[in-house]
A = this chain, B = another copy of it.
């Protein structure tokens, strides 16, 4: 079955909100409003009713992979998003370079954040052998990186070494079940050797000369195993691309077999270049059936409790992104991955507004993509994993169940 058109799937992270007035309901968003009035709308329970989604599980669901079946920790997505290649069974982590005092106590979880020498220090840890396993690391931004342990018999069922606060030493990773014993040992072995290598590394000498705290420790968190899954091209009959700034979103996209298409100036922050992202979506659409575009800053503003900032970001998407893409795709979906309530400053379980436009949808009288209007929309309350099926159906690539 060949798709009969092209779909654009726009996710504004943490888009939903709480309260009588929300960033969406009060936004000056004429393009989004007009689109909503021609669309069918509803609310997504991304990972199921009443459940609070993480960014990783929410995106798995939105890509049609039920996280209750597929999710096995965040690390692998981070490593994939950092551009690393993983093998089935590898266990990956997010890492921080940090500053330890002479007693091994963490005094700065970010080693001063100033990245002088950080790339070199990550490089010095790359390719370490621990027992019969190989450990690869990759610097990403500031003090952050990703780490992948490869070898037989590893499991993600282990604890972090990152204590998530200063004043404590790096933790010994402990297995969470018997299967995790080897992986915990490898992680602890890596961490010990890494701290030795970092301690006397010339790059830390240069940091000292520049009056910066040394990056003499590495803290790991968020273990996640990489398990190969049937790619979206086979599972849903859709060749898909991802245009995103944030590494995690690229990582989940790579995990399900999307191709990453980098847009210049796409940063995953409020300063991202939205025009560039729209242009990239248009530029690559002929090569794919579906382009997924991720916009991160709505979520970041929500975490900061910044209602005005979140609304402003929605208005920027309306002004700088939507006008370029409306009318250029056969299916256009706009939604979020979860609610990030400005009042709660965190992800919440509240369902997220969604609109689906296609020339033949049933318009439902909704005139604005906002929490209160879409609650009686034509889509009803749907599970996140069903969104991709609806896109499939409008692109004529659904397989009928039965005859």
Contacts and interface: CB of A to CB of B under 8 A. Distances in A.
A370 B369 CA distance: 23
A156 interface: no
A84 interface: no
A393 B360 contact: no
Contacts of A387: 50
Contacts of A380: 43, 351, 375, 380-381
A222 B50 CA distance: 33
Interface in A118-150: none
Contacts of A371: 362, 378
A349 interface: yes
A178 interface: no
Nearest to A374: B378
A372 to B, nearest CB: 6
A390 B348 CA distance: 9
Contacts of A346: 396
What band does the interface of chain A fall in when counting residues whose beta carbon is under 8 Å from B?
35 or more
B362 A399 contact: no
A386 B74 CA distance: 25
Interface stretch (A51-59, A85-93, A287-295): A51-59
Contacts of A403: 54-56, 74, 222
A401 B392 CA distance: 27
A240 interface: no
A105 interface: no
Interface in A337-359: 341, 343-344, 346-351
Given A363-B20, A375-B378, A376-B375, A398 B52 contact: yes
B393 A18 contact: no
A49 B382 contact: yes
Contacts of A71: 401-402
A376 B373 CA distance: 10
B378 A372 contact: yes
A50 B390 contact: yes
Nearest to A19: B360
Nearest to A57: B402
Interface in A185-231: 222
A372 B362 contact: yes
Contacts of A376: 375-376
A393 B55 contact: no
A51 B236 CA distance: 12
A383 interface: yes
A345 to B, nearest CB: 10
A19 B378 CA distance: 11
A9 to B, nearest CB: 14
A53 B349 contact: no
A393 B54 contact: no
Given A378-B372, A390-B349, A53 B364 contact: no
Given A50-B386, A50-B390, A350 B362 contact: yes
Interface of A: 18-20, 22, 43, 47-58, 60, 67, 71, 74, 222, 341, 343-344, 346-351, 360-365, 371-372, 375-378, 380-383, 386-390, 392-393, 396, 398-403
26 contacts: A18-B360, A19-B362, A20-B363, A22-B362, A48-B386, A49-B386, A50-B382, A50-B388, A50-B389, A50-B398, A51-B401, A54-B401, A54-B402, A56-B402, A58-B402, A71-B402, A343-B360, A344-B396, A349-B398, A351-B380, A362-B375, A375-B376, A375-B378, A380-B380, A380-B381, A381-B381
